[in-house]
Structure 1
Amino acid sequence: MKKVKNLIIGAGVSGLGFANFINSEEYLILEKVSQPGGYCRTIYKDDYVWDYAGHFFHFANQDLKNFFNSKIDPMDLIYKEKCTKIYYKGEFIDYPFQKNIHQLTKVEFIDCLYDLFNKEEKDKYSGFEDMLYGKFGKSITEKFLKPYNEKLYACDLNSLDSNAMGRFFPYANIKEIIDNMKLEEDNSYNKEFLYPKKGAVTYIIALLKGLNQNKILYNQEVIDIDEQNKVVTTTTDKFEYEYLINSAPFDHLIKYIDAKEYERSKEKLTYNKVLVFNLGFDKKSHIDDTHWVYVPDKDINFYRFGFYDNILDLDKLSMYIEIGYESDAEINIEEQLDLTIKNLKEVGVISEHKLLAYSSIIMNPAYVHISNEENSLKDKKKKDLENHSIYTIGRYGDWKYCSIEDSMIDAMDLAKLLNEK
């Protein structure tokens, strides 16, 4: 049996980040599949550069900025000021919807403004949907916020916590909405972003540079964790640890430790899955200035689509498409591809374009469902795990809605904690 001080589950940004930030060579990373990166991977097909999903990087943490600046040539990155739209009733309006209602028809604008002034705010909301009605009124909620988020999360929105999206939700008060009719100010968290010319894997390569590659073991699927004896069993081996750092999905971690507890808790740890299409066409779209588009219309299968070619300044249309599903839904990929092409024509993105290449990925889990019950269960379980020297970090390890930067900050903070022990 191999023994190691810091055993890390997962070679995504959280696991690789922790290995970089811990002041010790006594680490070992177990990765389930044959390559690192998790969802932060890149596909090269013909002339196209595609990621597993639309990843856009906007680092605010100075330590992380310094870390990546030391490992990535600035010439390998493209800087963009975000341009995002909403496809609404045949028109493209600026995002976010609630700050751009003045771009709607006069009748719809009046509806939104009237309901905004007559909304019934509360001190406490029962769920995410309840919060939308309370903060934005009936029209803004029902025209965009509710249908879009139902397509995204594939669940009853009131099953989500009112603050399920945290700082990522574009809140706006009446003054900000009115001011935006003249000033058009974007104060969102990602109004500017970086994108690597060779895809998101550039950041994974940077994280790998400082690591001993022999300490990353691939095709090591965890099947059991003995928290009392501090032993992890994979499909091929056993590993004894002093500290266990998990970045695999939180529900998987519970299952590895106690299958019965997992059965009791799985209904509280819910999530959606997302089908991602990457599409490469023979020529540009007439939409040549937009980076991604939100689609609330439920007659259209996708909730969002984006343009790699507009980000990378390429001469052929290269896109990603995202379609949300309940976690147990069956997906017919060929059927959805045909429907996607049909809907892209209906939206006006393509006309006589020829599809030259494509790939499909199913992200499962994709977006976790944040609820009061889930938060309570997670917080209690994390305390118990830490008493057994098990730490769980990152978007899925900590079961939360967060950015890639947030996941790496989790890794950095945990490394600082363990460095002091």
Structure 2
Amino acid sequence: MQTCKYLVIGAGVSGLTFANFINDKDYLIVEKSQEPGGFCRTIYQDGYIWDYAGHFFHFATDKIKNFFKNKIKDDELVYKKKCTKIFYNGLIIDFPFQANIHQLEKSEFIDCLYDLYFREKQGSKEVFESFLQMLYGKFGISITEKFLKPYNEKLYACDLDMLDQDAMGRFFPYADIGQVIRNFKNDYSGSYNAEFMYPKRGAMVFVDALSEGIDRDKIILGEQVTSINLETKVATTNKNRQIKFEYIINSSPLNQFLGLFEGNTSYKEFINTLSWNKVLVFNLGFAKKSSIKDIHWAYIPSKDINFYRVGFYDNILDSDKLSMYVEIGLSANQQIDIDEQLKLTLINLKKLGIVDEDNELLSHATIMMDPAYVHVDSKLEETKQLLKSELQKHNVFVMGRYGDWKYCSIEDSMRDALALTEKFNA
């Protein structure tokens, strides 16, 4: 039987950050995949560089920023001022939609501005029953129904009344009527990530930097924890490995993690209240550049198009062939024909003018992210906090986007791990 002070479940950015910054190096990381990184991994195929999904970085935490600065040379990174667009009714307009309605056809612009100005009095409310009610209340009927509702339904693959009004937290680009009007002459500046950095070799560069400080004897790849006994403090893996621990640090999806505890069924009711979506990602490499030469990523609200977002690696890395990702939102239990979705994707890329008829697809890779976006519900938050307090009595801690079941960035997940190490180090 192996023993460790800290049993870390998951070698994504949260788990790796914890291992780097914890002072007591008596830890063991168990990761079910064959390589670390979680969804922050990169595929190198046929000369193309693709991440598992679009990851763009803008570190604001000094400790994290300095950590990577000491490990990654500046010439290994590219720095970009973000250029994001919306493909809408034959137009390409600036994102976010609500701040750029003046770029629409005149009749649609008037509809949006009129409904925004005369939106229901509830627009001044601070508390709404759901994400959808917040959209109508803050932005009116036209902006909501032309973009915000259809786009987010495609993204989350659910009824938006299921989501909390703050489902996207600080990541939602709010804009009141004054900001909308000011933007007729001035570029919108309400985005949390107006600029970003990106490694020339993909997001895996950050994972490699985190992995450098990990003793190879302290990370188990291709294996997963299948049961945990909190009385004996022993975890068992799918390969019958037993690990005696003092603390568990979990970054794996909370809905899966809570099902690991032997003899404890009290968490099942909470697990059944959690919801999420999947995202099917197609990474595509074409023979030549697209006519879209300046956009970094774009949003597609139309329900006639199967994907909700596309991104252009070649425009970020200034490469000479179209290299892109396409994201398709699916409900948690939805089953689809991936080959049919790829065929439909190629048809729709041509329909949008992103790919020419003679631009041959040379290479592609498919990823299914499950879970991808967790559905945030504030009504569950109090229960979740009570559950976390109960787990901590047993020396069990959760962190990160999936471990803590929240909407957050990669850096936020690292900050979770950093805060936890500071607690233990103190």
* Interval containing the TM-score (normalised by the shorter chain): over 0.9
- Answering whether residue 224 of structure 2 is matched by residue 221 of structure 1, we say yes
- Is 1:360 equivalent to 2:366 in the alignment? yes
Written as runs of structure 1 = structure 2, the 5 A alignment for 1:237-386 is 237-257=241-261, 260-351=265-356, 352-386=358-392
- Preserved CA contact (<8 Å) 2:287 2:321: yes
Between the aligned partners of 1:334 and 1:169, the Cα distance in structure 2 is 33
- State the shift of 1:262 in Å: 4.8
Q: Distance in 2 between matches of 1:133 and 1:240?
A: 52
Runs of 4+ in 1 over 6 A off after TM superposition: none
Distance 2:210 2:268 in 1: 36
1:264 to partner: Cα distance: 2.1
Stretch moving more, 179-188 or 11-20: 179-188
Give the one of 211, 214, 217 matched to 1:211.
214
Give, in whole Å, the separation in 1 of the partners of 2:195 and 2:348: 29
1:402 paired residue among 401, 408, 426: 408
Q: 1:135 aligns with which of 133, 138, 142?
A: 138
Displacement of 1:75: 0.7
CA distance in 1, matches of 2:365, 2:71: 29
| Counterpart secondary structure, 2:147 | helix
Q: Give the superposition deviation at 1:229.
A: 2.2
TM-score by length of 2: 0.97
Hey, what does 1:43 align to over in structure 2? 43
Provide the rounded CA distance (Å) in 2 between the counterparts of 1:74 and 1:395: 28
Q: Secondary structure at the match of 2:184?
A: helix
Paired residues of 1:268 and 1:373 also in contact (CA < 8 A): no
- Where do 5+ consecutive residues of structure 1 fail to align? none
Q: How many Å separate the matches in 1 of 2:317 and 2:101?
A: 30
CA distance in 2, matches of 1:260, 1:33: 27
Give per-residue Cα distances to partners, 1:144-188, cap 9 Å, x unaligned: 000000000011111111001000000111111111110113231
- The TM-score, its normalising length taken from structure 1, stands at 0.98
The 3 A distance-change label for structure 1 pair 417 and 363 is same
Letter of the structure 1 residue corresponding to residue 202 of structure 2: G
Match of 1:196 among 193, 196, 199: 199
2: CA distance, partners of 1:180 / 1:296: 22
- d(CA) in 2 for partners of 1:185 and 1:336? 35
Deviation of 1:221 (Å) = 1.0
2:419 corresponding residue in structure 1? 413
Identity %: 57
Task: Summarize deviations over 1:266-297 as a string: whole Å, max 9, x none.
Answer: 33110000000000000000000000000000
The letter for the 1-side match of 2:54 is G
Tell me, which stretches of 5 or more residues in structure 2 are unaligned?
A: none
The Cα offsets for residues 189-224 of structure 1, whole Å up to 9 and x where unpaired, read as: 111011101111000000011121110111221111
* Structure 2 residue matching 1:181: 3-state secondary structure: coil
Q: Distance in 2 between matches of 1:350 and 1:165?
A: 31
* Paired amino acid for 2:221: Y
SS of structure 1 residue aligned to 2:329:
strand
The one-letter code of the counterpart of 1:7 is: L
- Structure-1 separation of matches of 2:322 and 2:62: 35
Cα separation, 1, equivalents of 2:47 and 2:163: 41
Structure 1: distance between partners of 2:419 and 2:377: 25
SS of alignment partner, residue 265 of structure 2: helix
Q: Say which of 159, 164, 167 aligns to 2:170.
A: 167
State whether residues 255 and 261 of structure 1, in contact with CA within 8 Å, keep that contact through their aligned partners in structure 2.
no
